[in-house]
Amino acid sequence: MKNILVTGGAGFIGSNYINYVLNKRDDIFIVNLDKLTYAGNLENLKSIENNRNYTFVKGDIVNGELVDYLFRKYNIEYVVNFAAESHVDRSILGSEVFYQSNVIGTNVLLEAGKRFGIKKFLQVSTDEVYGSLGPEGLFTEENQIVPNSPYSSSKAAADLMALSFYHTHGMPVVITRYSNNYGPYQFPEKLIPLMIINILNDKKLPVYGDGLNVRDWIYVLDHNKAVDLVLENGKIGNVYNIGASQEMKNIEIVKLILNILGKDESLIEYVKDRPGHDRRYAIDSSKIQNELGWTPDYKFEQAIQDTVKWYVENKNWWERIISGDYQKYYANLYGNK
Ligand code: NAD
Ligand code: DAU
């Protein structure tokens, strides 16, 4: 039995990962440590909450005493650190919690991992640490780290810290840098669920700037598979870029979702650009493909349809989320549209 501390497992990607891996394997025990911020939702984990290889602990990765207690109690051998403040727009509104959770929190986990001699520490990171691309080229693992937003700078700091623990202490660290994920259980502040839900509610679709910024999309189920593979076979001290080579302009995504839902384009509204908005992300995944044999299983055309269908069929899930505090955040960022 492998004992894995998964942090942030009640969020979008973490919950997809836990659902995936517990359905696939019975040789692991997962301790899910999550603070349950606005983005954490235990409903995402309903189907596995009684699994005997799973336990949930509500708590903050910044809390060193709690982290030590969990390492000791569950004999933790592996860490997958998903826990983070993850939304760029929120980091522009206020950055402190980003540095607390993403930097200090990661440091607490690394220190505990070092002291308890863990077998592997997987730091879940992002292509945003590489900054922004022009019209040509792809991010490789060799690219410079030049983050542009408070969010991405906090993720870059965590990556550099994790690598320093490898170099200095020989700690078995691996880093995965993903492109933009989409799929079920994504918090509606992010582009794809926000657009789907606004269309379903006949609300305006706020497209930043000229709508021509490019993101490279990966279905979250393809992400899960890569996490598992890197945790098993990733070479320590290494960084792996992971994406599905699916570049899209934001406006193309919005029009595609309108089309899937059979709506016209009159809801589209170009709004003030995001400050410091990175123009283009596109990721070269050849290293993980060649070294670990990872390839994406899902085609964008089908997976985006499945994603839209999921939000249409799971109205209860997002209706609860977009009531309450989320309304205040939305009005603050977008005005009362
Ligand atoms: P999310 O915002 O949906 O979920 C984050 C989870 O972390 C939530 O459950 C939240 O409660 C928890 N959390 C936050 N701070 C915490 C703390 N201090 N202690 C314990 N738990 C805490 O995020 P996501 O989209 O699922 O992203 C997960 C990870 O993947 C993040 O590290 C993010 O930087 C990275 N990532 C995300 C994407 C993407 O497209 N969503 C792409 C690349 C990398
Ligand atoms: O690239 C990986 C990153 O992808 C992750 O590290 C982040 O955690 C994740 O949030 C995501 O960051 P982005 O900023 O790329 O994702 P977001 O969904 O916020 O925005 C995608 C694009 O859509 C971006 O160019 C901004 C634009 N956008 C976004 C929103 C929310 C709009 O035009 N309108 C919107 O209302």
Grouped pLDDT means (10 residues each) for the chain, 337 residues: 97 98 96 97 96 98 98 98 98 98 98 98 98 98 98 98 98 98 98 98 97 98 95 97 98 98 97 98 98 97 98 95 86 81
**Contact call for residues 304 and 193 (beta carbons, < 8 A):** no
| Residue whose pair of structure tokens reads 């929120």 in the numeric block | 90
Phi, psi of 4 (to 5 degrees): -115, 125
Q: Does residue 8 line the site of ligand 1, with CB under 6 A?
A: yes
Task: Say whether 317 sits in a helix, a strand or coil.
Answer: helix
Catalytic residue among 54, 78, 130, 151: 151
Report pLDDT for 337. Answer: 60
Q: Position 136: which residue type? A: E
Atom of ligand 1 nearest to the CA of 14: 26
* Number of the ligand closest to the Cα of 250: 2
Token pair for 178: 């993903």
- Tell me the C-alpha distance between 243 and 295, whole Å: 9
Distance 138 CA to ligand 1 centre (A): 24
- 97 CB neighbour count, 10 Å cutoff: 14
Q: Position 72: which residue type? A: R
β-strands 214-219, 247-249: how paired?
A: antiparallel
Does the annotation count 141 as an active-site position? Answer: no
Report pLDDT for 25. Answer: 94
Does the annotation count 142 as an active-site position? Answer: no
Read off the pTM.
0.98
Ligand 2 neighbours, Cβ below 6 Å, are 86-88, 126-128, 179-180, 190-191, 194, 206-208, 213, 215, 250, 274, 281
- 34 CB neighbour count, 10 Å cutoff: 26
Report pLDDT for 336. Answer: 64
Distance 83 CA to ligand 1 centre (A): 5
- Alpha-carbon torsion 300, 229, 79, 242, what sign? negative
Phi, psi of 126 (to 5 degrees): -140, 155
Distance 49 CA to ligand 1 centre (A): 19
Alpha helix ranges (H) inside 83-149 = 88-93, 96-98, 105-115
Report pLDDT for 147. Answer: 98
Instruction: State the Cα torsion 105-108-111-115 to the nearest 10°.
Output: -130
Q: What pLDDT digit, counting tens, does each position of 24-69 carry?
A: 999 999 999 999 999 999 999 999 999 999 999 999 999 999 999 9
- Tell me the C-alpha distance between 328 and 337, whole Å: 12
Count CA atoms closer than 13 A to 26's CA, side-chain side. Answer: 2
Catalytic residue among 60, 85, 127, 189: 127
Q: Where are the beta strands (DSSP E) in 68-222?
A: 78-81, 120-126, 173-178, 180-182, 205-208, 214-219
Report pLDDT for 6. Answer: 98
**Contact call for residues 235 and 288 (beta carbons, < 8 A):** no
Task: Say whether 240 sits in a helix, a strand or coil.
Answer: strand
Residue partners of 184: CB distance under 8 A and separation at least 6? 16, 220, 307, 310, 311, 314
DSSP 211: S
Residue nearest atom 28 of ligand 1, based on CA coordinates: 82
Token pair for 137: 């080229």
* Number of the ligand closest to the Cα of 277: 2
Does the annotation count 128 as an active-site position? Answer: yes
